[in-house]
Structures are given as C-alpha cells and as structure tokens.
Structure 1
C-alpha cells in the first residue's frame, strides 16, 4: 500500500523563503496535507503573520525562524531551531536575483547571491538529507529556474546559481532514490512573486506570461517522489526544449542577451 504524503514526509516541513511567493504557496499546500511547518525568512512581522494564517487555515503547528541565509552564520540558526524536530521535507525557496552588466553589479551583492542561492542550499540539504538517509525516508524539493537550463546574459550570476541547483539536484536524485529519499528540482518560468517587483526590468516588455505561485508550487509538490525535474507549463517546457535541444548554444545566448537588452533599464547595461 502506498504511503500518504504525511506518512512519507511528516512530521515537519522546513521551508526557507516561506513568507511570500512560491515558498508561501508550498507552505500552504504542504500544511493542507497535514505536515507541521517550520518557516524561515528574514522579516519577523511577516513570519508571525504567515504562521498565524497557516495555523488558522490548516490546523497544524508552525514554528518560525528569523534568519538571513545570505549571511553564513545564520545557517546555524536554522539547524539549531530544528534539532529536536523530525524534518521529513526540506524546501529551500529563499533566493535573490541580480540583473545587468556583471561588472556593474557590486561584488558584495553577487557574493551574497552565491551564499544564498548556492551555499545555504547545499549546506542545509547536506544536513537534512543526511538525517533522512539515516531514517530511510524523506524528501527535498529544490527550486531552480528555466534560466538554469540555458545561458542568459545580464543574468549571469543568477543563471549560474540556478544551473548549479539543477545539476546538484538532478545528481542527488539518483544518489538518494536508492536510500528512500526523494529529490525533485522545480524549474519555474516567470512567476508572480515579490522578487519580480524589485528588478530593473520592464515587465511589460517581457515576451512570456507570468504564472501564479500557487500553480507553480502545485507542480513541485505533486512531482515530489515522481520526477527528478519538473518544469511548470507547456510554454516553459517548450522554451527549455528549444533553447537546449533545437537551437545552438550561441543562438540561445544571442536570443537571451537581445531580449534582456530590450527589457532591462539601459543604465544597468
């Protein structure tokens, strides 16, 4: 008999970036399946607000951890806060994006991106997946992007960070599946999230439609334990297919660069 979602991934799900966007949507969908939630984010007032919403809506327990994972020392806060809890599902959604000519972006911003998008994800995945292997059950839902499937000028560091997550997660999927731990990489396309509100990009010039975070989250939650990688929606799948299988790499780079030059504020070029 197949295990239920709660039996497979209970009792606790830990979600970083869980107070907005895809992370918030995943937190609600996982809570609806009966898992208690550990929310990790930077802003205390949002943590408290979202925790109450989840508890009131789904009747589960919610623990909050205020941490800025772009700072290495804050990673230990997450590990310490979950020491006595059985985390059966780990979802690192916290991420940051930088746009523009790489040499114009302050180095400290790019290093913070690497710390948040790559280092914190690896350290926490290593920690929680290790405990799951010892128990013989659990799951990790990593969040990449369709940008991680193709080069993209003016998003160079972000694209590189998401390519890392894609390859790390896809490789880990094979390692862990024989040990009872499910690893899935969610690769969204453009999504309506607060991160997209704070960019130097004219969204009205973007050629792609934006998806709702609830839809994107559902793709990830439902693919867990079934797929190594899931890309939400037909158009996003076609874009990745064209960029990686049909056109040459140089053509894909050219198209991506020309698109960004049209939508990006000129002062960042």
Structure 2
C-alpha cells in the first residue's frame, strides 16, 4: 500500500468524462494497492403539495426510481471499464442540506473531507474559458474544496486510453507543495516500476541571484522521491510561461503514456481566477492525466 493513499475515490454520473476517468482510477487503485470507491450524487427531490421528500419511497415514487436507475447505470458504466479483479465499493451520496439547488461538487467535496489518506479522481471536459465562465466546472469546484491529492482526467485526452502509466512527469520548484508531490510520485514510480522525469521551468535570463538554483531544487526533489529503480531524469526548461512549457513537454512524451504529478499553491478559486496558477492551467490543458497535491 502507498504510504500516502489508502483509498481512491471516483465520482460517477455516466458521462463520457467519468467513464474515461474510471480506467485511470482503477489503475491508480492497483498501483497504490488502495481500495476503490465509486460515488454517485443523488439530486435533491423537490417537495410536492401532497408529501415530503423524506416520505417518498422508490417503489411508489417514479422520480426517485428513475434517479436510482440512473445511479445504477452510472456505476455499471464505470465498472465495465475496470479490471475484473477490482471490487469497488459503490456509494450514493445525498445532499446534507434542504436546498433544492443541485451542487454535486459540494456534496462530493464534503464526502472526501470526511475520509483519510484518499486520492480523488475526477473526469472533466475540456471547455473554453467562456464556456467555463458561463457553465462553471464541477471538477474545478471540487479541486478547490478538498485537501487531498486530486487527479483530473479529460474525456478527450490525446492518447489511446487512460489506463496506462509509463512515465511520471514531476514539475518541481522547491516548495513544500512540490516536495509533497514528489513523495507521492515516488510511491507510484516504485509500485508501477516506471521512471520519473523531474522538470524545472527556469525564467528566461536565468534565476535571480537570491533564488534557489535548479541543481539544489532537483537534489531536494530526489530526496523526497526516494529510490526509483526505473530511473530519474532531470529536464531544465527555459520559458516565460511554465504551464505552457509543461503541457508542451507532456505532449512530446505522449508515446510513453505519461502522467503529471505536481504541487499546487492554495490561492483559492478567486485568487487563481485573477492571478492564474501554473497547476490550474496544466490541469485544464494537459493531454494526459494530471494529479495536483497540496
């Protein structure tokens, strides 16, 4: 079992994004020797004139029966992607409050916060900035509400399938978040017998005199990684836009079935929207699964 992850959680709703994420969630559960849990958020049931939601039973309530059938189908679609040896736990989650507003992201985040030593896998769609502004993003909402590692898998990832792991790309910057990501990457690399590539994005013109040198940052990341029998490579990228450089590098490694693991500075939703975040941009645009660690 991983030293950091004992439970992999995958929210499912039957969408192509969640089905795509199921394969990677199963892979992570196997690699980390962790339990796998599938969760489905039930929508709130509005009260009718003649009854209350608490009194409505599936066998007599057509709406509720339809919702339960939708949950069953969502679980079945996810299980169909998984390795037959996996036996995931399937849970339906009910909103805790009396609000009729459907906020599945908040319900999932509340559930995850009650767990320990977990990793959350989210299926997401690649959307334009305008669409995200209008529609919002459930995966983005959850990402900013939980403190555990979160892996995001897009339904249009540019490789054949998501249930393969051949290389871990680990962007490093010397921060505590980066060191935590390195520790998780080390667990995965050892269990999956895959190499790790450390990536440091150096500003054009080099680092400032008072900043930590790339060599020192690489050395600290190696220490957090621990022993990686399949090998560790160091790559120095010179760029004015680290997120774009990381994504471009991931595209160049597509034939090796990569996954990105990186730290995230917790600025919060508003701060990241105004200031921008390297990890946020990588999550949105990378062609492979991305895990962010706080």
**TM category, shorter:** 0.3 to 0.5
Greater share of helix residues, 1 or 2? 1
* Structure of greater Rg: 2
Q: TM-score, normalised by structure 1?
A: 0.40
Q: TM-score, normalised by structure 2?
A: 0.37
